[in-house]
Structure 1
Amino acid sequence: MNRYLKLVHMEVDRFKYILAGIMSLTLICQFGAVIWWTKNALSYRESGAWSNGSSMPYSSYNSSHNGNLSFTEVISNTQSISMIPILLSIGVLVIYVFLIWYRDWFGRNTFIYRLLILPTARRHIYFAKLTAILIFIFTLVTFQLALLPVEKLIFNLIVPSDMRDFSYLPHNIYANRALPLLIPWNLDTFLLYYGLGIIAVMAIFTAILIERSYRRVGIIYAILYIGISSFLLIFPLFGLGLNDLNTYLYPNEIFAIELVMCLGVMAISVWLGCRLLSKKISV
């Protein structure tokens, strides 16, 4: 366990500067957007234009009838800016799912050889990289969720109390089209999204190890593995007509089939990935 934790620490340490950069960009973009939009909205309100019943020319969210501002309105109208670091974070993490393995093979001094000869079970390498990816994902999600109260505090400091309306956290989340995907309010949806995401990462890890084990022909095997895994995960949701009222199966039965498929793909991915890493890949 101690060696596994050391491997996790090593993987986190290798990505920490990129992670810090993404978090800094997210903070700057979202704080800047909140401050800029709130000050412009407040100036427009104080100019008396609202008193004539006109809406802000750059607002896509209807304000309250009394002309007050709400934090939900700010989130809605700044989402085009705040989504930039969110999409960038997703893109970087998707790329790093591949890079976390390939940088060890193609980096300086072929670092993977040093990992493979460590006095520890090779499966620890697999689980350490998987754990590191999960740490990065949930760190960014938690950071995004933690920014909302701070942004609301900034909004409250700028806007006088008699010019603002109260808003609830769920309304703030759903005012931005990207946030409900990252922070689903429903527990079932949260488990579905992140469960499928984790299984997808496992399948990709195993596909990479298949390619590394069999090289050129391994590319074909890896693509086939990803294709079959994707089909098994997607078919119960769409092929069996989950949203079709005339489907032969009940929704609970379809979810049960989906759960079995998810557990099957996860188990096969972990077993095959660890076996390839231990038996097939050699120094």
Structure 2
Amino acid sequence: MNRYLKLVHLEVHRFRYAIFSLMFLTATIQMIGLVHTTRLRVAGRREAALLGDHPRNFSFADIIGDSQFLFTIPILISIIVLGLYVFGIWYRDWTGRDKFAYRLFTLPAARRHVYMAKASAIFIFVFAMVSFQLLLLLLERQLFDWMVPSEYRMPSLLAEAVASNLVFVRYLLPPDGLMFAVYYGTGILAVFVIFTAILLERSYHLAGIIYAILYAASCAAVIGFAFSLHPYVYFYPREITVIRLCIYIVVMSLTLTLGFRLVSKKITV
């Protein structure tokens, strides 16, 4: 366990500047969007009051909804960067003169620890970005309260702010606990499938490319079948959920078993 944790620390340490840069980019763009939209709203509210109109007050959720584009762009950039790094976390070890893979696979630790450490690092990065986004929303609400006079503000819950942004509510922070588990569980499974496909390519070279594509496509088809299941005459919703769960467990077990075997027996340095 100690060696596994050291490997996780190593992988996190190697990507620390990139993840901090993504956090900085996210905070900067979202703050700009929040400040710009809030100023426009406050100015419009004051102008309407001077003209004798009675405009509706606005909430933090309204500002998030009006700033959809600037709040979404850094999230999409982060998703793309982390998605590419699922591949880069392996292939960077084989690049350059002093290939890091030679040292990594000759460490006095089980090679499956290398596999799991890389996966754990990816999951840490993902959940660190999600946690950072939640913290950032709390800070942004405080900034909103500071910028907007109390007589212009309407109260709103943080959940309402999340629901006002389509990317938040559909993908990043779905309010339903089951959907959250399904989305992130599928993401975790996808990472393991990609890792195993990469190891197939690394193990069998040219033929491995075909093996990797076929394996990834097969897993995607099985998972797609699980998602397409709907209650029929002979199945209740809970039974469909159990069937889906069993399919995920089978695919996960096969993926991890094959991945551990490849990294332990087939990968050469």
Instruction: Please give the TM-score of this superposition, normalised by the length of structure 1.
Output: 0.91
- The superposition leaves residues 79-138 of structure 1 with CA deviations (integer Å, 9 ceiling, x where unpaired) of 111101000000001000000000001234111111111011000100000000000000
Gaps of 5+ in 1: 54-64
2:169 maps to 1:183? no
Give the secondary-structure state (helix, strand or coil) at the position aligned to 1:48.
Answer: helix
Matches within 5 A, 1:1-283: 1-48=1-48, 66-180=55-169, 181-238=171-228, 240=229, 242=230, 248-283=234-269
Give the counterpart letter for 1:276 in structure 2. L
Query: How has the CA–CA distance of structure 1 residues 236 and 225 changed in structure 2, closer, same or farther, with 3 Å as cutoff?
Result: same
CA distance in 2, matches of 1:19, 1:218: 31
Give the counterpart letter for 1:19 in structure 2. I
CA distance in 1, matches of 2:34, 2:165: 13
CA distance in 1, matches of 2:41, 2:211: 56
Post-superposition shift, 1:223? 0.5
Post-superposition shift, 1:49? 6.6
* Conservation of the 8 A alpha-carbon contact between 1:26 and 1:86: yes
Gaps of 5+ in 2: none
* Conservation of the 8 A alpha-carbon contact between 2:86 and 2:195: yes
Q: Which is helix-richer, 1 or 2? A: 2
Give the secondary-structure state (helix, strand or coil) at the position aligned to 2:133.
Answer: helix
* Conservation of the 8 A alpha-carbon contact between 2:45 and 2:55: no
Query: How has the CA–CA distance of structure 1 residues 182 and 50 changed in structure 2, closer, same or farther, with 3 Å as cutoff?
Result: farther
Sequence identity of aligned pairs in percent? 47
Query: How has the CA–CA distance of structure 1 residues 155 and 108 changed in structure 2, closer, same or farther, with 3 Å as cutoff?
Result: farther
* Conservation of the 8 A alpha-carbon contact between 1:44 and 1:50: no
CA distance in 1, matches of 2:154, 2:48: 18
* Conservation of the 8 A alpha-carbon contact between 2:112 and 2:260: yes
Give the counterpart letter for 1:88 in structure 2. I
Give the counterpart letter for 2:174 in structure 1. P
* Conservation of the 8 A alpha-carbon contact between 1:50 and 1:67: no
Give the counterpart letter for 1:165 in structure 2. M
